[in-house]
Chains A and B, each alone.
Chain A
Amino acid sequence: MSLGALVTAALAAVAIVASRGLRQRAQAVVLPIATGVLLLALWHLWAESTRYQIATPGEPVRTVEVFPTPERTLVAFRELLSDGRLVRYSIASLFRVAVGFLLAAAIGIPLGLWAGWSTRASYSINPFVQALRPISPLAWIPIATLAFGIRDEAAIFIIFLGSFFPIVTGTMTAVRSMPVAYVRSAHNFGLRKFELLAHVVFPAALPQIITSLRIALGVAWLVIVAAEMNAIQSGLGFLIVDARNMGMRYDLVVAAMLVIGAIGIGLDFLVRRLERIDSVRWGFTKE
């Protein structure tokens, strides 16, 4: 078993070295697979090396695994899938992220547009946004628990904080960096306040707003785990804490971690699709 892993790791390493000779398109396929295989093999070897045996007189020898191997993790993944926890907890986490993130966008985008546009609004809001921004959302967990109790609202509040600041700051910067000719043209053609916002300021800022949404969603998903570790009874973060506390199930811990990673990629992919909307594509292509 261990020898097999060693051989696999060696083969993967050789494939990485040998791929220099391949065309770029072939490299794009071979390299990620080879690196993945290499990582899996190393993971396996390392997990096996931490295994130890306990010999108690009068009892059969017991093997204790400290770290789960990839195989064990796969089994744990199947377990989570079949007992329904995987879907249930993923939905619970995604729900909290969705509510917190959408709330942050609903408040952050208008606030950012306003603070980017009006100097007075910027003077009033910006110092506090900038002062609160460097505080990790995790630092708010005690306050959130105090305010909302051990409920969804507490986790949603943490998510909200994590997404809010990148969105406000990104939107504000987007409006401020708008070329002056856009606004001058709009004034020149006699656009009124609301028309200016709808036809010029918002669309001009939209590509950068989308980028800030992408960052914000990444942060939201990053902090969900910590937000749910705080005694909430569902979600992928809860699963991780619960699996450890209830019987040292590190195989479940690692399986949950991998699911979190996969969903994170999925979320990022979804936001990136926004970049392809016709009216924002200009902001993502270099001429």
Chain B
Amino acid sequence: MSAPNAAAGDPKVVVRGLSKRFRRGREEMLVLDAIDLEIARGEFVCILGPSGCGKSTLLNLLGGFEEADAGTILIDGEKVTRPDPRRIFVFQDYGIFPWATVRENIALGLLRRPAKEREEIVARYVELIGLQGFEDSYPGELSGGMKQRVAVARALAVSPEIVFMDEPLGALDSLTRLSMRRELLRIWQRERMTIALVTHDVDESLQLADRVVVMTSRPGRIAGIVPVALPHPRDPGSPAYNALKRQLFELLGVRADV
């Protein structure tokens, strides 16, 4: 398994033998079983799998929010033990604060910077996500897509080396999701940070990722890693795209036709 799990370039993230159990009463469940994975610097990786396959748990471990039962996670050769502003986690819901304005939300990681610098950074990222004019709006006044953009801007404002995204577009309608994917790619191509994004949407992973890590459930294991060597923008009608799509469905053990 080690060959396809290795990242192409200089690995930013190295996961070795990572296992995680959940205990509920007397029952014990193996959620992640000996995961090996490498993510290269500046790479966009999607972790694809059905719900309950442990992909979110894997991401939480990478983010430093939970502790593994076995195995290690190294980022830049350093063991991950806790969350760190160099690696920002974007949540599907509840990530941004409803009591704070767009401006205040984006400034969350900039509290100790001088006011002037903070304002400049916030202005830059408000512009990047195209929310000029909404700086003083509260999340409750924004659409789902706008909220998710604020979450992304808040993450990017601290110039993280890695961004972890847990189904960041899952709560959006399918049309907004499409335009958000495009936006995410545009931002990634500009900022060139490393991204690990968890999704259960095959198309999402194929349109975004350099490599797709396919997971299966009970226990959560990596079924295979599929490099997507197509240039952006990726046409979902092209034969190459569809060949990859079939490969992903096969790894997931699901039939693509209905």
Contacts and interface: CB of A to CB of B under 8 A. Distances in A.
Contacts of B139: 282
A191 B95 contact: no
B134 interface: no
Contacts of A287: 140
Contacts of A203: 97, 99-100
Interface of A, secondary structure class, is helix
Interface string B148-182: 00000000001000000000000000000000000
Contact of A281 (B89, B108, B140): B140
Nearest to B111: A195
B63 interface: yes
B94 to A, nearest CB: 4
Given A191-B111, A281-B140, A184 B99 contact: no
Contact of B83 (A184, A204, A280, A283): A184
Contacts of B98: 282-283
A82 interface: no
Interface of B, secondary structure class, is loop
Interface in B63-91: 63, 65, 82-85, 87-89, 91
Contacts of A184: 63, 65, 83, 89, 91
Nearest to A191: B111
Given A281-B140, A282-B140, A181 B94 contact: yes
Contacts of A282: 98-99, 138-140
A182 interface: yes
Contacts of A281: 138, 140
A272 B161 CA distance: 45
B109 interface: yes
Interface in A176-209: 179, 181-182, 184-191, 195, 199-200, 203-204, 206
Contact of B100 (A189, A279, A285): A279
A190 B138 contact: no
B140 A199 contact: no
Interface size, B (range): 20 to 34
A39 B214 CA distance: 71
Contacts of B111: 191, 195, 199
A83 interface: no
Interface size, A (range): 20 to 34
Given A190-B85, A195-B111, A181 B91 contact: yes
B156 to A, nearest CB: 12
Contacts of B158: 189
A59 interface: no
A188 B87 CA distance: 8
B93 A181 contact: yes
B40 to A, nearest CB: 23
Which residue of A179, A186, A199, A206 has the most chain B CB atoms within 10 A of its CB atom?
A199
A188 B63 contact: yes
A206 B97 CA distance: 13
A275 to B, nearest CB: 13
B91 A190 contact: no
B141 to A, nearest CB: 10
Contacts of B100: 199, 203, 279
Contact of B95 (A181, A199, A204, A283): A181
A280 B99 contact: yes
Contacts of B138: 278-279, 281-282
B172 to A, nearest CB: 15
A260 B98 CA distance: 37
Contact of A185 (B82, B87, B89): B89
A229 to B, nearest CB: 42
Contacts of B93: 179, 181
Nearest to A285: B140
Contacts of B91: 181, 184-185
A131 B89 CA distance: 41
Nearest to A206: B99
Interface of B: 63, 65, 82-85, 87-89, 91, 93-95, 97-100, 108-109, 111, 138-140, 158
Given A279-B99, A280-B99, 10 more contacts: A179-B94, A185-B95, A189-B85, A189-B88, A191-B111, A195-B111, A199-B108, A203-B100, A282-B138, A285-B140
18 contacts: A181-B91, A181-B94, A181-B95, A182-B97, A184-B89, A186-B108, A188-B63, A188-B87, A188-B88, A189-B85, A189-B109, A279-B99, A279-B100, A281-B138, A281-B140, A282-B98, A282-B138, A283-B98
Closest 4 A/B residue pairs (Cβ) = A282-B98, A189-B109, A181-B94, A203-B99
